[in-house]
Amino acid sequence: MTHLAGRGIADITGEAAECGMLGYGKAGQQTTGIHTRLRARAFALAEGTAAGDRRLLLVVCDLPLVSGGLVQEVVRRLPDGWTESNVMITATHTHCGPGGYFHHALYNSNTGGFRPKTYSAIVDGITQAARAALDDLAPAELSLAHGELHDTSANRSRRAFDRNPAHDRAHFPDAIDPHTTLLRIAREGQLAGAVHWFPVHNTSMTNTNTLISSDNKGYAAYKWERLEAGADYLAPEPQELITAFAQTNAGDMSPNLNLRPGSGPTENEYDNTRITGTRQHRSATDLLGRATALTGPLDHRITHLDLSRTEVGPDFTGDGRAHRTGSPVGGAAALAGAWADGRGFAGFREGRNPLWDAVSRRVIYALSPSLRDAHAPKALVLPAGPLNRLRPMIQERVPVQLLRIGRLYLIGIPGEVTIVAGLRLRRTVAGVVGADLDDVLVASYSNGYFHYVTTPEEYDAQEYEGGSTLFGRWQLPALCQTAASLATAMRDGRPVHRGTPEPLPPARPYKRVPPPDAPHPGRAFGDVLSFARIGDRVTATFVAAHPNNDLRRGGSYLTVEHLQEDAASWTRIADDGDWSTTFRWARSSRTTSTATLTWTVPAGSPPGSYRLRYDGDTPAGTFTGATEPFDVR
C-alpha cells in the first residue's frame, strides 16, 4: 500500500513574561523569559491520495497539556475532511510553558484567567504546522521499530505499583516501562521525519524555573533537528528533517532518577534536561536501522465518554460485578503533589491524610453508598463535580480515540496514564484487533485533559496519582470498556457512536492591563546597560519593553550575530530558541524593565567578531539594540 506523508513545524510559544506556568500549579511560577521556544510538530498521513477518509494528522506539541478548546479551534481551521476523529493533538507535558489557554477555570488558577495572547499563539502555531504538513503530503516510506530505554526513568509511585497483581508487575521487572517505539518517515530512502514514543515525565526542569522550556523531550527534538541536521527554525524554507518525541503512559514515570526534584542523573536541572533528552534522542537514532516496513491501512475512531456516570460491565471491573464511575473529586493526595517532581500544597501528603480520611469515611461515604463505591478510599477534598455547576472547572465528557497506522495502534487518552493502567489498555485493544502488544501504544495527554488514570489497585494506595484519578476507582475499567468498543468497531469496519462532546464554557479573560512601558531616565529603548564576559559566557542587559507587547512567534527577542569576513554584514548564528542562549526579562520599576541576554559560546564556534542583539516592541513600534562587537578565538 502506498502512503503519503507530510511534515510541518511551527512556534507555539506564549507569553514570556508575567504569565503563570502550567504543570506544577505554583502561584509564584510566573514566566520571566525564554530558555527554549515551544514548537508544534505535525505529521500528516494518507493512503495513496490526500483525498478521502483514509488520512490522519498527528500533532506533537511542546505544551504542558492540551485543552479541548485548542482542539476544537484547530480542527475548525483545517480544510474539509479533517475532524476530531482523524486529528490527534498531543502534548509532551513540559511543566515550564505559559498557561491560561484553557476554558475550564482550574487550569487558569495561577494566570489570573484566560490569556488570549497565549491561546492565539498556540492555536495559530498548531494550525500553521498542521497546514504545512498537509501541503507537504508526498509519497513516503513508513517503517516501525521498537526498543528499550532503561536509564531514563524511575517509578515515583512504587508503593502504588506494588499493589498490582504479580502478572502485571512481571511485565515491568524494574517497575519502569522501558518500551520505545519509532515511526520513521523516509522519501526516496532519505530520512524526512520521525516520531519517537517513550514514557517519562517532561519534568527535568523544576518548579523553581521561570524560563519557558520544552524540557527533555523538546531537547531531544532540538538536538536531532538543530544540532545534528542543521535546521534553522527562523528560516522561511521548510526543514529537511522534523522529529517529535511523544508521550505514552508516563503517569508514574519520573526523569528525576533520585526521586527528588532536579536530582538525577546530576544535581543540575539544565544538565538533567540535556542528558535525559540526549538519551531519548540516542534511543531514536539507534532504532533507525532496525525499522521494518509499515504497511496496511489508516483508520480512526473517536467517542466522547461521560466519565461522571459511566456504567462499567463486569467483564472490565475485575470483581465480576458492574460498577459506576462518579462525579470528579480531587483527593487529599492530589494536593500533596508528586514529591519526586515537586511538592504541592502544605498540609497534604501522599497516602494517608488522617483528618480528610476520617471526614470522608465517617461522614461523606456513610451518607452516600454510591459515592463510596465510586471513590473510596479517596480522602475527598476538591469536589470538582459540584463546582462545575457553579463555574466549569474541569472537563467531564472526554474524547477517547483510536488511530491505526498499519500495524501501529494509538489509544488517545486525555489524561496521565500509569504504566500498568497503560498495559491494561494496550492489552484490551491488542486482544480485540489481534495486534502484537508492542504495536499498541497509549497516547497520553491527547485531545484534552482530565488528570490521572490508575489501576483500581493503585487507586487504593492513594498516592498522588490515585488522588488525582478524579472519577474514582472504576475510571480505568470504564476507559478499557470504551477502548474495546472502539477497537471492535475498527476491526469490523463499523462506525461508533460519537457520544456528546462537552461544550466549551465561556472564557474569562485576564483583565489586568500592564502599566505603559517607559525607558530608563536618560536612556532609550534598546540601550545597553551592562556587558560582561566571563569565560565562555557573554551577558548583556538592555533597556527593555514588555515582551508580551509582541510574542514574536516565529521570531526571536535575542540574536547572536557573527561578523562576516567582508566586515560588511552580520549573520545570525543563534536566537532565543537555542540551548546556548537565555532571554530574561525583569521589571526595574513600575514602568521600566530590563532584558538580560546570555550566550554560552558553544565549543567549536568559528573565531571572529560577534555581538548580541535585542529586538523589542512597544505600542509605537519595534526597536533594536546591540552590544559592541566582541571576539571569540
In this structure, the answer to whether residues 63 and 121 fall within a common structural domain is yes
Is 60 exceeded by the pLDDT of residue 242? yes
In this structure, the answer to whether residues 261 and 125 fall within a common structural domain is yes
Catalytic residue among 143, 153, 254, 327: 254
- What is the per-residue pLDDT for 52? 56
Mean pLDDT score of the chain = 97
In this structure, the answer to whether residues 597 and 475 fall within a common structural domain is no
Query: Is residue 1 very low, low, confident or very high in pLDDT (cuts 50, 70, 90)?
Result: low
Identify whether 341 is part of a domain: no
The boundaries of the domain holding residue 34 are 3-303+395-492
In this structure, the answer to whether residues 37 and 158 fall within a common structural domain is yes
| Look-up of cell digits 526513568 | 153
Contact indicator for 139, 3 with CB cutoff of 8 Å: yes
| Look-up of cell digits 500533532 | 59
Contact indicator for 509, 489 with CB cutoff of 8 Å: no
Query: How do residues 115-144 score in pLDDT, each as one tens digit?
Result: 999 999 999 999 999 999 999 999 999 999
DSSP track, 546-584: -GGG---TTS-SEEEEEE-TTSS-EEEEEETTSTTEEEE
CA gap 394, 415 in Å, rounded: 12
In this structure, the answer to whether residues 138 and 284 fall within a common structural domain is yes
In this structure, the answer to whether residues 299 and 420 fall within a common structural domain is yes
- What is the per-residue pLDDT for 2? 85
- What is the per-residue pLDDT for 84? 97
In this structure, the answer to whether residues 57 and 180 fall within a common structural domain is yes
In this structure, the answer to whether residues 559 and 469 fall within a common structural domain is no
Element (H, E) at 400: strand 397-405
Amino acid residing at 252? D
Identify whether 37 is part of a domain: yes
DSSP track, 63-119: SS---HHHHHHHHHHSPTT--TTTEEEEE---SEEE----SSGGGGTTTTSB-HHHH
Of 82, 124, 72, residue with least CA distance to 505: 72
Contact indicator for 357, 377 with CB cutoff of 8 Å: yes
DSSP track, 261-278: TTBSS-S-HHHHHHHHHH
DSSP class of 180: E
DSSP class of 171: T
Range with the lowest mean pLDDT among 338-342, 401-405, 437-441, 554-558? 338-342
Identify whether 512 is part of a domain: no
Is 90 exceeded by the pLDDT of residue 309? yes
Within 219-321, strands assigned E span 242-246, 253-254, 292-293, 298-306, 311-312
Contact indicator for 457, 165 with CB cutoff of 8 Å: yes
Contact indicator for 405, 185 with CB cutoff of 8 Å: no
100: left (phi over 0), alpha (psi -120 to 50) or beta: left
Task: Give the pairing type, strands 55-61 and 39-47.
Answer: antiparallel
Percent over 90 (pLDDT), the chain: 96
Active site residue 254: yes
Mean pLDDT of all residues in 519-541 = 98
Query: How do residues 343-381 score in pLDDT, each as one tens digit?
Result: 899 999 999 999 999 999 999 999 999 999 999 999 999
Identify whether 101 is part of a domain: yes
Mean pLDDT of all residues in 89-104 = 98
Mean pLDDT of all residues in 452-481 = 98
Distance, CA of 464 to chain centre: 19
- What is the per-residue pLDDT for 566? 85
- What is the per-residue pLDDT for 565? 85
CA gap 180, 96 in Å, rounded: 24
- The reported pTM is 0.97
Of 108, 200, 111, residue with least CA distance to 155: 200
CA gap 54, 370 in Å, rounded: 43
- What is the per-residue pLDDT for 53? 65
Contact indicator for 473, 376 with CB cutoff of 8 Å: yes
The per-residue b/e assignment along 265-274, b for 16 or more CB within 10 angstroms, e otherwise, is beeebbebbb
Mean pLDDT of all residues in 461-471 = 98
Identify whether 345 is part of a domain: no
> Domain boundary residue among 465, 492, 519?
492
- What is the per-residue pLDDT for 330? 97
Mean pLDDT of all residues in 527-549 = 98
Mean pLDDT of all residues in 437-444 = 98
- Side-chain half-sphere CA neighbours of 264 within 13 A: 17
Is 90 exceeded by the pLDDT of residue 262? yes
Contact indicator for 157, 164 with CB cutoff of 8 Å: no
Contacts of 599 (CB under 8 A, 6+ apart): 537, 538, 539, 560, 574, 580, 581, 612
3-class DSSP state for residue 435?
A: coil
Q: For the range 425-431, what are the long-range contacts, defined as Cβ-Cβ under 8 Å and sequence gap of 24 or more?
A: 425/249, 425/476, 425/479, 425/480, 425/483, 428/480, 428/483, 428/484, 428/487, 429/402, 429/483, 429/484, 429/486, 429/487
Contact indicator for 224, 278 with CB cutoff of 8 Å: no
In this structure, the answer to whether residues 544 and 464 fall within a common structural domain is no
In this structure, the answer to whether residues 533 and 486 fall within a common structural domain is no
CA gap 516, 475 in Å, rounded: 49
Identify whether 337 is part of a domain: no
CA gap 368, 613 in Å, rounded: 64
> Domain boundary residue among 468, 492, 516?
492
Q: How far is CA 106 from CA 111, 309, 334, in A?
A: 10, 21, 14
- What is the per-residue pLDDT for 436? 98
Query: How do residues 131-182 score in pLDDT, each as one tens digit?
Result: 999 999 999 999 999 999 999 999 999 999 999 999 999 999 999 999 999 9
Contacts of 214 (CB under 8 A, 6+ apart): 36, 37, 38, 39, 62, 92, 94, 97, 221, 222
- What is the per-residue pLDDT for 228? 98
Contact indicator for 61, 89 with CB cutoff of 8 Å: yes
Identify whether 445 is part of a domain: yes
> Domain boundary residue among 472, 492, 512?
492
Identify whether 561 is part of a domain: yes
- What is the per-residue pLDDT for 406? 98
Mean pLDDT of all residues in 209-223 = 98
Total structural domains in the chain?
2
Which cell numbers hold the place of 481?
470498556
The neighbouring-strand residues paired with 443 are 412
Contacts of 385 (CB under 8 A, 6+ apart): 308, 326, 327, 328, 329, 396
Contact indicator for 379, 372 with CB cutoff of 8 Å: no
In this structure, the answer to whether residues 251 and 117 fall within a common structural domain is yes
The per-residue b/e assignment along 127-139, b for 16 or more CB within 10 angstroms, e otherwise, is bbbbbbbbebbee
Query: Is residue 512 very low, low, confident or very high in pLDDT (cuts 50, 70, 90)?
Result: confident
In this structure, the answer to whether residues 214 and 279 fall within a common structural domain is yes
CA gap 616, 481 in Å, rounded: 53
